[in-house]
Structure 1
Amino acid sequence: MTDHWNVFLDQQGARRDGDGLLLGFAEASPTPAVPLLAVMAQSQVLALRGADAATFLQGQVTADVRLLSEQRPLPTMHLSLKGRGLFSARLLPAAEGGVDLLLPTAQSADDAKRMLGKYMVFSKATLTDDPRVVLMLVDDTPDTLEHSLHQARLPQPLPDHVVVEGDITVARLDGRRTLVILPAEAAMERWPMLVEARTPCADDGARLASIVAGDGELLPGAEDLFLPQALNFDVSEGVSFRKGCYTGQEIVARMHFKGEMKQRMQRYRWPDATRLPAPGAVVRSDAGRALGEVVMAVAADDAVEALVVVRLSHDGDLHLEPWGALQATPQPLPYPLPEK
């Protein structure tokens, strides 16, 4: 991210930690009920380009990359041989058959470059850092979104679609969340129109919106833990069971066609936002039995909002060491889970 973009954010009231990491723009944590403009400073876009870009990626990730030709944004994972996710990404179509990969952190992006680079040597494809700014607009009504995109002279994709105009990408992930990826200069120019009806925040606001949407992502610390179905990627077209081979595909397909998922990602809320569990933290039952792991958690309204993979048979509170019982209450997901 460019220095002048950081200076601009500081002028807007940015708060940072001792290492300069963006924390937000106000003392209060984001809330699910307020429209947000989230500066996703921790995220990184990787540009996959070349004649073999889409073909190469098709053999490396869980989603069917061919759906990008329909201008669709796709969640996906790259798996270990055990079928567990090593990193997750949002795939976005780019010009001339290229693909943009949106990774949740810089470490995730470094991991993706390292892992995919091992298989890329014989392909006509390159994977490089994209310096553009990543914003997420979180809105409560389509009218708010359409008005601000029009005011900011940005394209207006349909829900679950992407529009690319030059070096600007706009992707509507669902009815509430819209990604805007653009150069820093363009982001600064459009900031007043985008922030007019929204509260500015950092990555935690975008993650809160994703938690409400039941849209989990693999963060550092949770690598090699989850099958894609455990994070409900089979609900969101994040995994294809008929597209052909990719690393870990056999195990994922066997679970889908012959097995039965005993754990699924669920949304929970509990009090005391002063303590946030790390991704991959083990949750337990009252009796101390391991139930699953935390996927992602953020502070919101003096509470914790989280996505947690738990046993489907579990009924009761969640426990986390060393805090004990969380007083966690299940929250609704905006989609039904598969019966199997």
Structure 2
Amino acid sequence: MNANPISLPQTVSSWQGALPLSDLALIRAEGPDAAAFLHGQLSQDVNHLGPTEARLAAYCSAKGRMQASSLLLRPAQEQVWLLTDAGILPGWLKRLKMFVLRSKVQLTEGGMQAWGLAGESASKSLGDAAKAPVWSSQPHASGQLVRLPDVQQVPRWLWLGAPEAAAWLANLPALPESAWSCLEVLSGIPRVTEATFDQFVPQMVNFELVGGVNFQKGCYPGQEIVARSQYRGTVKRRAFLAEVQGPAKPGQEVFASSDAAQPAGMVVLAAQLPQQADAPNEAPHVVLLELKLASATDEITLGAADGPALRLLPLPYAMPSPDGDA
């Protein structure tokens, strides 16, 4: 597949500042068995998660389908935070509680607010904390600061803390929600939402490529399916980035010209590029989509066989060869 270069607006360098992320919410696991309990539920090694690390993790059904994705932090020995999509949190929390049984762990919602920080102004405000490596976590301003991967040379961070501790962020410019959403999409890191609940085995959306699956850890729901997909070469779908002239949303189907009678994939995440003053009605959407590998060289359309064309873009990380071990 030859992806076209991305056509971000020239103003991408001005995507800087901070904003509260209302689409993310937190589950807190506390108690002597917090890490061990989650270790048996998630695709990630939680037992060895250190206080300076952040790791991605999936919660899967018995069939290996992702029912939640999360960012894990362990700010204290007996405490693990799971940052996840706000829409799926209530149902996921309820399901996790069903399996606590005799484990010494308490699962609660909220108490923390997530903020996204990006660009030069955020870097200057964070000082030396901005220099931490990608996927690190550290205490900062009475909360936790996570260094995310850069996107299009724009540095990004997540700050998690109590709402009353977020006053320091008011000193930063207000980052447009559309800019942060675009950076999230263009990172190529999937997030399970209500529209994509139970749709994807982790490899179908590149979740193992961004560190979301540990293949050396013990069992968890769906582990056999996920491992079989990895080691038997049964992954026939992958996540791709694309651009489309028009609206897009998670859960929308995509179609390929080689077999227009049935969907070839699904939108995972979508965001509209921030509108420019000289073209306020022409801002396209960028999408992260799951797609059959066999359709990656076809003409791809959104919503229907005669829908708007999707132009594939390069991912920010390497994709395994279809003939490789993935």
Q: TM-score, normalised by structure 2?
A: 0.84
2:126 corresponding residue in structure 1: 149
The structure 2 residue matched to 1:320, chosen from 274, 290, 302, is 302
* Bigger mean CA offset, 324-333 vs 263-272: 324-333
User: C-alpha deviations, 1:293-312, integer Å up to 9, x for none?
Assistant: 11011111411110000111
1:3 corresponding residue in structure 2: none
Show the 5 A alignment for 1:24-63: 32-33=12-13, 34-63=15-44
2:272 corresponding residue in structure 1: 299
- 1:83 is aligned to 2:64: yes
User: C-alpha deviations, 1:133-173, integer Å up to 9, x for none?
Assistant: 2111122x5xx4432113xx978633220002584100002
Show the 5 A alignment for 1:283-298: 283-286=254-257, 287-298=260-271
Mapped contact 2:38–2:46 kept (Cα < 8 A): yes
User: C-alpha deviations, 1:87-141, integer Å up to 9, x for none?
Assistant: 1111112223311111122x311122111111112210011122222111122x5
1:132 corresponding residue in structure 2: 112
- CA gap of 1:104–1:253, structure 2 versus 1, over 3 A, is same
SS at match of 1:267: strand
Identical positions, percent: 27
Q: Partners of 2:287 and 2:232 in 1: how far apart?
A: 30
User: C-alpha deviations, 1:172-230, integer Å up to 9, x for none?
Assistant: 022322001122222124311x32xxx4233x443321211111100111111101111
SS at match of 1:68: coil
SS at match of 1:75: strand
How much has 1:264 moved relative to structure 2? 0.3
Matched length:
298
1:13 corresponding residue in structure 2: none
Mapped contact 2:187–2:316 kept (Cα < 8 A): yes
Q: Partners of 1:224 and 1:318 in 2: how far apart?
A: 23
Q: Partners of 2:77 and 2:45 in 1: how far apart?
A: 18
Structure 1 runs of 4+ aligned residues shifted over 4 Å read: 153-156
SS at match of 1:65: coil
2:146 corresponding residue in structure 1: 171
Mapped contact 2:43–2:59 kept (Cα < 8 A): yes
2:135 corresponding residue in structure 1: 160
- CA gap of 1:317–1:257, structure 2 versus 1, over 3 A, is same
1:267 corresponding residue in structure 2: 241
SS at match of 1:94: strand
Q: Partners of 1:148 and 1:282 in 2: how far apart?
A: 41
Q: Partners of 2:305 and 2:12 in 1: how far apart?
A: 25
Give the gaps of 5 or more residues in structure 1.
Answer: 1-28
Q: Which amino acid aligns with 1:201?
A: P
Q: Partners of 2:194 and 2:17 in 1: how far apart?
A: 25
SS at match of 2:183: helix
1:24 corresponding residue in structure 2: none
Q: Partners of 1:96 and 1:179 in 2: how far apart?
A: 21
1:10 corresponding residue in structure 2: none
SS at match of 1:69: coil
Show the 5 A alignment for 1:203-218: 204-218=178-192
1:310 corresponding residue in structure 2: 291
- CA gap of 1:258–1:335, structure 2 versus 1, over 3 A, is same
Mapped contact 2:50–2:74 kept (Cα < 8 A): yes
Q: Partners of 2:270 and 2:55 in 1: how far apart?
A: 22
Q: Partners of 1:253 and 1:168 in 2: how far apart?
A: 36
How much has 1:232 moved relative to structure 2? 0.9
Mapped contact 1:317–1:325 kept (Cα < 8 A): no
Q: TM-score, normalised by structure 1?
A: 0.81
SS at match of 1:90: strand
